[in-house]
A = this chain, B = another copy of it.
Amino acid sequence: MIIERIISDGLAHYSYYIGSGSEAIIIDPRRDIDVYINLAKKYNQRIIGVFETHRNEDYTIGSLNLSKLTGASIYHGSKLDFGYGEYVGEGDVFKLGSVEISVLETPGHTDESLTYTLREIGEKEVYAAFTGDSLFAGEVGRTDLYGESHIRRLSEALYESVFDKILNLGDGVLVFPGHGPGSVCGGNISVRTFTTIGYEKKTSKVLQFKDRDDFVNYKLQERFEKPPYFTRMELYNKNGPPLKDLPTPPPLKIGDLKKHADNSQIIDVRSPEAFYTAHIPGSINIWISGLPLFAGWILNYEQPIIIIKDDGQLLDPILRYLYRLGFDNIGGYLNNISEWFKSGGKYNRSGFISVEELKNRLTDNKIFLLDVRDSKTYSELGFIQGAYNIYLGYLRERLSDLPKDRDIYVYCDSGFKTGIAVSILLKAGFSSVAGVIGGFSAWVSRGYPVHRT
């Protein structure tokens, strides 16, 4: 029996290859499916099924691509009206070599959410549970995706799914969830890559609620961000996403870049430090590892995307990150921004500042200090005195909160999201913007004072 976890960086998305005998199934495949095809080749197995734990909203599902290539059937929960695949429900069982896969309906994160359990044929005990976004290591799924008014109902459902169904499977059952730490689908997912029901019952904070109402109240007060691209992912995944391949955009000559710049979204994937010194006017800075989490907040699906990078940065992960979020319209890329500089192309710079300098200027009322961390981090970890908090994701909608006549200093956790924020402000016409190098981490490391509301 083979169980391989495939980790999609940034989204912290876990998909699974389960093989037994001459066949295999995939749980929650991502859109760039070459990884599954290559595993099937390696193990000489035929992919016969794709099992979705739920619709998913943070990435484009690869089920249709995989089914097209392999002929595999696609299975969904029946509580959502999917445009493709087949429905399965509580108690359905599928045989795969020497194991069988059973369906457990575990609504809560979404209505159609399923948990798949794995049993060795001939054994009574459940061996493993693929819990999707119902149960994570150290966490449970968020219940706010349908909006405020559904949280109570979904949290109650999740309580029953987790406490009455999943946790009863047995302490020795392996748990393979849909996400790891860093995902936006759960608050405090642990860094442990494997876990069990027994271990979770003992160590996961949210599983210590013995009372349903306490659990529901806890979920009711939770606050998560919901990126705008979720809407498109939900639509794609419900109806079936476009059957596009991973794009192979062309390198751009400087002349072509200049020609297309106005009608495109230019993203500069270098580090914030490089961006601050010099960047193409109007470009948005998103560091590469930040693309999975922030491209969906920042980019639109209409305009072509142009990628600006440094010579040593690999193009492939950039394209995969965008493709997984459904961004198929890549106009081209500039392999080395130094070409732009050498061509005499115009560039902008921004300010930047150390925490030391910031500390010395805090009392200066010419500055406006902007904290772009999420509100939960802001309130839980504290902030720098005087900071005004707008989560990076909402910055473009709330630009009118910001003064045009003051020096805006931006900080985040460590400095990367700050690069995005600075680039958004510059593009929006703010003239004096500076990023704080090292962010709140540097501030705290220096032992500078932290304020709390």
Interface on A for B, CB 8 Å cutoff? Answer: 1-3, 22, 37, 41, 44-46, 69-71, 98, 120, 123, 125, 127-128, 170-174, 191-203, 248, 250-253, 270-271, 273-278, 288-289, 310-316, 335-338, 341-344, 347, 349, 352, 354-355, 414-416, 437-439, 441-446
Contacts and interface: CB of A to CB of B under 8 A. Distances in A.
A110 to B, nearest CB: 27
Contacts of A191: 1, 98
Contact of A338 (B1, B316, B415): B415
A329 B2 CA distance: 29
A275 B271 CA distance: 11
Contact of A198 (B173, B194, B202, B288): B173
Contacts of A251: 22, 44-46
B70 A250 contact: yes
A58 B61 CA distance: 41
Given A2-B193, A288-B311, 12 more contacts: A41-B316, A44-B336, A196-B196, A271-B274, A271-B338, A273-B277, A277-B277, A278-B352, A278-B437, A289-B312, A312-B312, A312-B314
Q: Which of A172, A203, A289, A444 lies at the interface centre, i.e. has the most chain B CB atoms within 10 A of its CB?
A: A172
Given A193-B2, A438-B342, A171 B172 contact: yes
Contacts of A441: 341-344
A162 B251 CA distance: 38
Given A200-B172, A277-B273, A341 B44 contact: no
**Among A200, A201, A338: residue with most chain B CB under 10 A:** A338
A349 B349 CA distance: 14
A273 B274 CA distance: 5
Contacts of A250: 46, 70-71
A215 B392 CA distance: 63
A288 B273 contact: no
A194 B3 contact: yes
A46 B41 CA distance: 31
8 contacts: A1-B193, A44-B251, A120-B203, A172-B197, A273-B278, A343-B438, A343-B442, A344-B443
Contacts of A44: 251, 335-336
Contact of A344 (B2, B98, B442): B442
A289 B311 contact: yes
Max chain B C-beta neighbours (<10 A), residue from A173, A196, A200: A196
A316 B37 CA distance: 13
A355 B278 CA distance: 12
A170 B170 CA distance: 12
A316 B310 CA distance: 17
Nearest to A125: B202
Contacts of A174: 174, 194-196, 199
A273 B46 CA distance: 27
A270 B274 contact: yes
A287 to B, nearest CB: 8
Contacts of A197: 172
A344 B335 contact: no
B344 A277 contact: no
Given A45-B251, A125-B203, A415-B338, A344 B172 contact: no
Contacts of A274: 270-271, 273-274, 277
Nearest to A344: B445
Closest 5 CB pairs of A and B: A172-B198, A344-B445, A341-B438, A171-B171, A342-B441
A439 B342 contact: yes
A345 to B, nearest CB: 8
